[in-house]
Amino acid sequence: MLVVDKPAGLPVHRGPQARGRVIPVLTDHLDTLRFGLPRRPEAAHRLDKDTSGCLVLGRHPRAMAELNQLFRDGKIGKSYWAIVEGGPSDDEGLIDLPLGKRSPERGWWMKVDPAGLPSKTRYRVCGRDAGLSWLELEPLTGRTHQLRVHCAASGWPMLGDEIYGTTPRDGGPGLQLHARAVTVPLYRKREPVHVEAPPPPHMHQALRSCGWAHSFQNPNGEP
């Protein structure tokens, strides 16, 4: 497998919204990741266009089959970082709200629905600032837009969420959701493979205000 750090704003596939328009998608670049194999790798799961971070690719059909089964069985650990408006009163907990489609014409548009599919998300507060919270989110199920809908329905929508939050369609800070880490039990007799992706620049300011400590240098050697 390969794990890539997908940039925010880059769709994984050329979906309905991308058809008829010339916009870049991740699949345009997968041929460059063959590294000697006859076929290009393929994405083993989904990330929203505006979500950055760890995306797992299978390098050949057998690998894809094994990875798909691991995802279906819930054996691959996924951890996300999010900045939300407001925040939970408890420092950790479980969101257990079933989700269903809001519109049959737009299958990606989700809502809390008692008749929908079971959906569970664990959360932990990593830091707080005036009006914002930095959360670590662990999806225990894999529904479309699960983390975004769960946070919004709990009363603390994600910063920069133009669909389920309060951010305007234009001029927002960008969705503050990042696939921070994946843990994949790739080999039966070895420790799981753990991969982390650094948060994207558009999340740095809010993360720092909530207590994230990160030092780096630019190419000129200045902090």
pLDDT, tens digit (0-9, with 9 covering 90-100), for 4-33: 999 999 999 876 554 555 678 998 999 999
* Amino acid of residue 52: S
> What is the per-residue pLDDT for 222?
41
Q: What are φ and ψ of residue 150, in 5° steps? A: -60, -45
Identify the H or E element spanning 49.
Answer: none
Q: What is the pLDDT of residue 215?
A: 52
Q: Which of 48, 73, 129, 161 is catalytic?
A: 48
Residue 170: which pLDDT band, with cuts at 50, 70 and 90?
Answer: confident
pLDDT on residue 191: 95
Mean of the pLDDT values across residues 117-134? 97
Pairing of strands 52-58, 177-184: parallel
pTM score, whole prediction: 0.90
Examine the residue annotation and report whether 48 is marked as an active-site residue of this protein: yes
Q: Evaluate if residue 74 carries a pLDDT over 70.
A: yes
Radius of gyration of the chain (CA): 18
What pLDDT is recorded for position 83?
98
